[in-house]
Structure 1
């Protein structure tokens, strides 16, 4: 018997779901011969058709997508249920079952990594309970095995080489269970792969679910399945197809994904969409098959987000009337949790460009090659995407999200008081020699590389360590990183502080923050590189007075950050009170060849140590762990472990900028956050109308030290404009931008002042003033009245004529009218009058400048 999750924050009534099996609108067309497909480069996404309004009816349904649930299953019994009474996996399936009718969900597909540890039965039990909710609701679904769901997930072992009698996936989610799902059509001989056909709005669709590492035989089976159903469009699901690049946005193809493309996808026009998990984040790629048709590959996986994924799932609204698939990423778990438990990481909907998007697809044209009769069903549904949002947000009041921007340049980071050391690599390049200095920009703790001949390493060469530019974490403002090649247990290199560096003996009893950016090399291997470290405070913990002897790492360094043999980040440290023993924090599985930001925050208020990976706290953290113990005068090193009083087990990969702070901090102060550009002031600038003959030599004010202040604008004087000028804010926070020549001509002056760090700039501040025109002292102004700003702008009316002096930004008075009357009295003619006012857009400054166009009196 299974238990249901507790009622959510606001209970919504369950409405009877429309029958999932639908009558086909027409008999399928005859079998079409399939041609040979040729791989092609990615193509630019076609322009989207005009978006329908939310209440415009269409032929629509929603495909629900469940990415990696491994941490929900792993921590269901010992973390989620004790804290909340349920887990995210169970809440996801409960929400889908409750809203299947409202959102017209005919099918749910799971992308693999059902559990985290294949041999732990309680994880399978948690997953079984969640999926059984779909069984009980008669909501059809497919499920497949990811790398965590098979006993041996090496890249070279395929599904037909598994010992199938020992595979838990087959015991929990094999063909026998799948037979009870109404859409199930069959499995391959291994039972690891399955296909389903569901019906929606008068048409059939196939979901072809391939488990981890499909063999040649499985790919042949998949081809045979499609050949047996030649008119059915196919959605291929697999745990791995597409990866994500270092910027956390750009798609990157994988060797296995290309295998699927070359040996299956490209030769079957029926496949129009692929969905996979495995790689952390979200991205998509469009490719063209040999029939000239687009295949869209989508990756979605949030296991490294808050709480192991925070319950995010994909909702794919197929709008056949308007030829588009609308995609959004939503979390029923966030809106279900108690209000008082929510944090800034809890956002019910993700709005990034890879999280909410539309895929234009002319369904009839796309499927015409194998199903000429394909057509939309009756236009009966309003926007299902909007309805999903309405359901999720009904009664929900959440916190503001955590957000950041990409850095504008290498200086675009937050400087934090209490920084003990901050190692950066920009400005360096090539092989790191023994004379290379890695600067500590905080001062006093520079790094250098020991001569390999003086260490116990074997086979190490100087060329093993290089500084490389360009390939860094997207949110690191440092444009370079140090990379360690060919590392192993016995072959290693490292960078070290000197024995007298102040950071070696820093007092961290009042808390600390340790940040770094790190990436494993694509050649990383668990046997060779497992349990290696990339940041270590060297020493021997067994020599710390009072340290409680432990089974593991008895003679290891007191503080170390590295990777396990299962590719989990591990923080291991001796706290300020060494009698409490070793304290650890652990991440989930980390992908090779992918940058990650890691922050370790020791908070003395509650004696906790929390690991954050790319901004999200991990589930396994340390308690009762205030401060850090250390051996006196021992260096910090980057690039290797330190055990038994010597280095070993080098880091096979790269390490970016790294910083140590003497107190606990939060995301707003991390290296992933940006410098504050909002403090710009313009304190040295005129305003209003200046007397005739005045001169302005410069503008000045305060800003962020190191930022570039740019002054863009123009002057109305002889129809000329001034080019942009700029200056760098000094260390004392002041800036001054001189004009090429002092401003002294009569006219209106307007400027936009911004400060920037490279490509990122502040909002502009407007500066405007005017200089009055000189009046002939020998002429007395005729009686008259004025209303306006004279040379600065406005209008003026004289007693014997009317003159419009223009529109300006400051000043009031009668100067224009008086001058108009004086001119008339002296010459007997009207003054030269402005014809009009034109707004000239100054692109560099982003402001409009008022220009007077004059004409001579006829």
Structure 2
């Protein structure tokens, strides 16, 4: 009897304790950070405060709440426009193909090419992303501002009279050497990371796999107005990972009215037919692959949710978040900004997945690392931002745009019960 009791005690001592099944996790979605990193928004250039501090606060928040640090952030996706400026009038590849840059009074004043991209803006981005390097799987997609050049093509010249930004003339973004210098597949952020499973064009497009909530998820990051080669590569990656629930992040996809139409100021497809509009990305790629259940984007100021059935009859949730034009921090500091110019005020998306129950769900929350509050806990939220973003909504409805729940109907049927 004593021997039996001793054996039971030893078994209890050395056996691993039962581990509860993980049923929840968070994806952090970082919308356009360009106004934080913009070299003109720093005290060195005479600005009222260093806006880059808000960017670094966001990255430190993510590091502190990563699963590797005991938090619940399992994946990070940055939605493009990491920095603000470009280094060239036109990139050599497009110039060699016969495209021609023409002067544009607005662009040449507000976004003139500058080497401060490489001496100030990219180093700031590097400092921020190094805070989370190795702590959590992540993706960064290039937005239009992250390209080497953003130019008006000779076939779409700027109008002679400038009444507002819509008269810019059609812009095109080209060249990604600057982006690859930090976010390329061979750079320290990604090289050798087991979760970084594929890349295209040196990392201009990329794929990651992360495991959370009992599932392995495939994530694909696509560049701004992804060209045909990018979509073909993405389709191949999906085929190589059958059955994995798949998320796609890209820069320009939804307007804040939930339409899949390009920004009228910069539409790469209008200049170069090889590039794809948001609707073309839906038609050619997203709707064709039943594994894709979620699409995340930035670029268009504001927020939106759109749900469509793919060709298999299953739902695809498409989510926009972009807070770059929010400027309450600048107002409070007495900083003078041009019309349409913002800072961001530290707002980002936290998408909390609850995989328990028959129907998994995502609680979409909007959180400011500057104010250290969720949108729904900020009494001034509608007064600060509604007029510029969704003026026709009631305050309650506006709050609902940034704090809501997505029921992932049919998720178990598509992807199984999980582990």
TM-score category, normalised to shorter length: 0.5 to 0.7
**Runs of 4+ with >6 A deviation:** 79-82, 154-157, 343-347
* Residue 83 (structure 1) aligned with residue 49 (structure 2): yes
* Residue 358 (structure 1) aligned with residue 405 (structure 2): yes
User: Cα offset for 1:230?
Assistant: 0.8
SS of the residue 1:175 aligns to: coil
List aligned pairs for 1:750-829, cutoff 5 A.
none
Deviations 1:252-284 (Å, cap 9, x if unpaired)? 221511011001001101110100000000011
The aligned residue for residue 133 of structure 1 is 131
Gaps of 5+ in 1: 1-24, 26-56, 245-249, 337-342, 378-858
The aligned residue for residue 203 of structure 1 is 215
- Whether the 8 Å CA contact 1:310–1:346 is kept in 2: the answer is no
The aligned residue for residue 313 of structure 1 is 348
- Whether the 8 Å CA contact 2:43–2:50 is kept in 1: the answer is no
| CA RMSD of superposed structures (Å) | 3.1
Structure 2 residue corresponding to 1:171, chosen from 163, 176, 181 = 181
Structure 1 residue corresponding to 2:73, chosen from 105, 111, 125 = 105
Gaps of 5+ in 2: 1-18, 88-116, 156-172, 263-276, 330-342, 374-379, 386-395
Separation in 2 of the partners of 1:243 and 1:163?
25
User: Cα offset for 1:80?
Assistant: 10
Structure 2 residue corresponding to 1:214, chosen from 198, 204, 226 = 226
- Whether the 8 Å CA contact 2:293–2:315 is kept in 1: the answer is yes
Change (3 A) 1:142 1:80: farther
* Residue 298 (structure 1) aligned with residue 343 (structure 2): no
Q: Bigger radius of gyration, 1 or 2?
A: 1
User: Cα offset for 1:103?
Assistant: 4.0
Structure 1 residue corresponding to 2:145, chosen from 144, 148, 152 = 148
SS of the residue 1:317 aligns to: strand
User: Cα offset for 1:215?
Assistant: 1.2
For CA contacts below 8 A with separation 6 or more, give which structure has more relative contact order.
Answer: 2
- Whether the 8 Å CA contact 2:35–2:51 is kept in 1: the answer is no
Deviations 1:760-810 (Å, cap 9, x if unpaired)? xxxxxxxxxxxxxxxxxxxxxxxxxxxxxxxxxxxxxxxxxxxxxxxxxxx
SS of the residue 1:251 aligns to: coil
User: Cα offset for 1:216?
Assistant: 0.8
SS of the residue 1:313 aligns to: strand
Change (3 A) 1:201 1:117: same
Deviations 1:160-198 (Å, cap 9, x if unpaired)? x9555xx20011211112224442112113431101000
* Residue 272 (structure 1) aligned with residue 293 (structure 2): yes
List aligned pairs for 1:835-846, cutoff 5 A.
none
- Whether the 8 Å CA contact 1:315–1:327 is kept in 2: the answer is yes
User: Cα offset for 1:144?
Assistant: 1.0
Normalising by structure 2, report the TM-score. 0.65
User: Cα offset for 1:96?
Assistant: 1.1
The aligned residue for residue 368 of structure 1 is 413
SS of the residue 1:214 aligns to: coil
Structure 1 residue corresponding to 2:34, chosen from 70, 87, 91 = 70
List aligned pairs for 1:215-254, cutoff 5 A.
215-244=227-256, 250-254=257-261
Separation in 2 of the partners of 1:207 and 1:80?
40
- Whether the 8 Å CA contact 1:183–1:198 is kept in 2: the answer is yes
User: Cα offset for 1:89?
Assistant: 1.1
User: Cα offset for 1:238?
Assistant: 0.3
Q: Which has the higher helix share?
A: 2
Q: Which has the higher strand share?
A: 1
- Whether the 8 Å CA contact 1:62–1:103 is kept in 2: the answer is no
List aligned pairs for 1:578-589, cutoff 5 A.
none
Separation in 2 of the partners of 1:261 and 1:86?
34
The aligned residue for residue 284 of structure 1 is 305
SS of the residue 2:399 aligns to: coil
Change (3 A) 1:155 1:203: farther
* Residue 92 (structure 1) aligned with residue 66 (structure 2): no
